[in-house]
């Protein structure tokens, strides 16, 4: 079975391998030993911190195969982005050029550098090894963050965002990047990607355009990918949209991928999750449930049909094996959602 738990220092080698496999554009996991070590240490401190409101905490979880001990995926949450290191986006706007005398009315799209998402919580760092992309594993890896956030809401902002990877050409390069490189940055994409990944973002404020950019002046290839996601990211975007996330016009600086947002309490998996006591008994349910305990440092979550909600008794029936995996005992509270049906 697959189980989610908080990352520890012992997971460094596995996290580095995931960083290597994820490739360029996955800036939250740079292939940099020092940065990865810092991320793990920061996550370990965040999960045990006494928190009354979101701050500079980062929660990073690993997906482990309980039979082999192999780490097969990762998923994370940043409690409040942009508070220690600025978070930049382009905001899409429309401005009007109007001449009554000439009877000319033009609506023109612009891009403006901004920090509008400062303080928002961000779901991030989701990666699942290809051989495990089946049987609800990807869906679970995305939704398990909402179970954690639903259980510990004071640790997160009311506003939650997700940055989606932008479109790329046949060489894996974002077409949107090329005009930026030529006019403003004069460094290649892997270098910029690496600098952001290790937290060195000062060059953005120093070199990026400070004034609104007219979209119509950009190369056609750059215009076409604004707000578009990478082919491999479309399923993730569709899943978030089903949770209630929407795109309000903010895009990534370098690949123009959309940033989507939602209010924490209105996220479907948060709103529909149920927190109930567990009753341990042999059970094989009809539906796949994602179930999490209510702990912090010892947070555990998994998914299986070895659980079934008894609405009449108001309890979650789970098998002894599933309970052991989740570190749950008789009468403990657990939070769950359905993965393959609309919850009642």
Q: Which of 89, 194, 230, 247 is catalytic?
A: 230
End-to-end CA distance of the chain: 26
Q: Kindly report the backbone phi and psi dihedral angles of residue 291, in degrees, each rounded to the nearest multiple of 5, phi listed first.
A: -125, 135
Alpha helices in 129-218 (DSSP H): 137-151, 175-180, 189-197, 202-207
- 221 CB contacts (<8 Å, ≥6 apart)? 175, 178
> Tokens at residue 63, please?
């997906």
Is 97 among the catalytic positions? no
> Tokens at residue 341, please?
């049906």
- Please choose, from the candidates 100, 59, 52, 105, the residue with its C-alpha nearest in 3D space to the C-alpha of residue 78: 59
Residue found by looking up tokens 């609506």 in the block: 107
> Tokens at residue 150, please?
């639903």
Please state, as a whole number, how many other Cβ atoms lie within 10 Å of the Cβ of residue 214: 11
Burial track 60-95 (b if 16+ CB lie within 10 A, e otherwise): bbbbbeeeeeebbbbbbbbbbbbeeeebbbbbbeee
Do the beta carbons of residue 192 and residue 133 sit within 8 Å? no
Alpha helices in 49-172 (DSSP H): 137-151
Q: Which residues are catalytic?
A: 230
């Amino acid at each position: 079975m697959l189980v989610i738990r908080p990352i520890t220092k012992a997971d460094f080698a596995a996290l580095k391998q995931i960083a290597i496999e994820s490739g360029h554009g996955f800036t939250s996991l740079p292939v940099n030993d020092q940065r990865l070590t810092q991320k793990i240490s920061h996550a370990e401190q965040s999960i045990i911190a006494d928190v009354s409101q979101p701050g500079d905490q980062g929660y990073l979880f690993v997906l482990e195969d309980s039979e082999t001990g192999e780490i097969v995926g990762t998923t994370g949450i940043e409690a409040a982005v942009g508070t220690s290191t600025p978070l930049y986006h382009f905001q899409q706007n429309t401005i009007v050029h109007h001449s009554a005398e000439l009877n000319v009315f033009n609506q023109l799209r612009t891009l403006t550098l901004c920090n509008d998402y400062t303080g928002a919580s961000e779901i991030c760092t989701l990666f699942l090894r290809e051989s495990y992309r089946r049987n609800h594993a990807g869906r679970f890896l995305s939704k398990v963050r909402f179970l954690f956030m639903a259980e510990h809401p004071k640790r997160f902002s009311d506003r939650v965002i997700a940055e989606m990877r932008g479109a790329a050409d046949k060489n894996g390069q974002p077409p949107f990047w090329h005009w930026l490189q030529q006019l403003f940055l004069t460094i290649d994409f892997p270098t910029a990607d690496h600098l952001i990944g290790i937290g060195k973002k000062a060059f953005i404020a120093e070199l990026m355009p400070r004034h609104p950019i007219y979209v119509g002046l950009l190369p056609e290839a750059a215009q076409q990918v604004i707000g578009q996601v990478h082919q491999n990211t479309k399923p993730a975007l569709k899943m978030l949209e089903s949770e209630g996330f929407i795109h309000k016009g903010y895009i990534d600086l370098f690949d123009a991928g959309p940033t989507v947002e939602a209010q924490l309490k209105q996220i479907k998996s948060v709103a529909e999750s149920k927190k109930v006591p567990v009753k341990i008994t042999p059970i094989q349910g009809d539906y796949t449930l994602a179930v999490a305990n209510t702990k912090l440092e010892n947070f555990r979550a998994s998914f299986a049909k070895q659980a079934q909600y008894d609405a009449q008794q108001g309890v979650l029936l789970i098998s002894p094996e599933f309970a052991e995996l989740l570190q749950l005992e008789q009468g403990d509270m657990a939070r769950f959602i359905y993965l393959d049906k609309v919850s009642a």
